[in-house]
Amino acid sequence: MASLLVLFVFFFFISSCSAQSYNVLSFGAKPDGKTDATKEFMAVWKTACASSRPVTIVVPKGRFLLRSLNFDGSKCKRKHITFRVDGTLVAPADYRVIGNEDYWILFQHLDGVTVYGYGGVLDAQGTSLWGCKTSGKNCPRGATTIGFQSSRNVVVSGLTSLNSQMFHFVINGCNNVKLQGVKVLAAGNSPNTDGIHIQSSSTVSIFSTKISTGDDCVSIGPGTNGLWIENVACGPGHGISIGSLGKDAVESGVQNVTVKTVTFTGTQNGARIKSWARPSSGFARNIRFQHCVMNNVDNPIIIDQNYCPRSENCPRQVSGIKISDVLFVDIHGTSATEVGVRLNCSPKKPCTGIRLKDVKLKYRNKPAASACVHAGGIEAGLFQPNCL
């Protein structure tokens, strides 16, 4: 009898700790792409949030029409929740429905959130908003497709973000985040559609990802500390950019960033650091760009500390951002312009500790040129020396 009691207690313990699974279909969501499923998705979240056990929310195959969603974990019994997305989440065709929201889908105040789905698609249907923006009409700013805010231990795997209204993925104020096997797809002329944007976050990694979009493949904002990017294909797009920095006079810096084994194809830039031409307390240091291939890239390597679009709020000023300890090693391929390395640093805060090693770029089958101002450091193995 005692052994049976022990066995019962054991199985009760196992069952109480095992994960619960909730399918959005069981809450009335219809996978027809026409019926608004926002209320049903939020009902699933409310139920999952109330559980004291690990929870998986399942989105099966099909198309689910959704307005903006805010998955807030601040009142959840357990902060660790998993989303398995096998189907397609679809934003309303009318961009005005979510166009004034910051996010279409937002996860915040969570500890241990996983969103995965090999075959799962987030279709923001942003093309009509792009058309509005390029026409010069008065349009909404547009919503970021999916954001993670004020969270830790975040995993995003296997998802495809399609035609975002604005940014595709945003990581803001998070710690310990991993994105792997993600795809970003948007037209090369789509405005403000950064693939992955990181800011005010630490210990973030991006692996085995393909990004084709109309703005930066990855943009790295102030307050980023400890970012690892590896095995990424970028193009079309504006490259991998640290910045723009220095938009505010008081700003956190960017540090400890490694970009490794990345292929840039037909992009506007490759490895880029940019800052506004105005005073700021920010900085960028301990940056590594390693083993990168450039295929017909306009600016394969560029530091621009005189960023001043439309000459607004910064004419005749210089950047206060301090850029130091930046390594470019084994960067090779083809430049679409004559100047393959352009380091345009600030006269007030010159770039220091720049290292160019084994940078081999060609322009029309000849070594590409370099143009450097207010930049100091060491170079080795360059086709065009005397830059630093």
Catalytic residues: 238
Which residue is it, tokens 């104020």?
A: 173
Burial 41-69 (b: 16+ CB within 10 A, else e): bbbbbeebbeeeebbebbbeebbbbbebb
Closest C-alpha among 256, 203, 251, 201 to residue 224: 201
Task: Report the run of H or E that residue 34 belongs to, with start and end.
Answer: strand 32-36
CB-based contact 178:205 (threshold 8 Å): yes
CB-based contact 98:165 (threshold 8 Å): yes
Closest C-alpha among 138, 136, 141 to residue 164: 141
Pairing of strands 366-367, 351-363: antiparallel
CB-based contact 279:249 (threshold 8 Å): yes
DSSP assignment of 71-102: EE-TT-S-S-EEEEE-SEEE--SSTTTTTTSS
Token digits of residue 146: 């999916």
Instruction: Report the C-alpha gap between 316 and 144 in whole angstroms.
Output: 34
DSSP assignment of 244-256: EE-SSSS---EEE
CB-based contact 149:105 (threshold 8 Å): no
CB-based contact 104:68 (threshold 8 Å): yes
Closest C-alpha among 157, 209, 156 to residue 184: 209
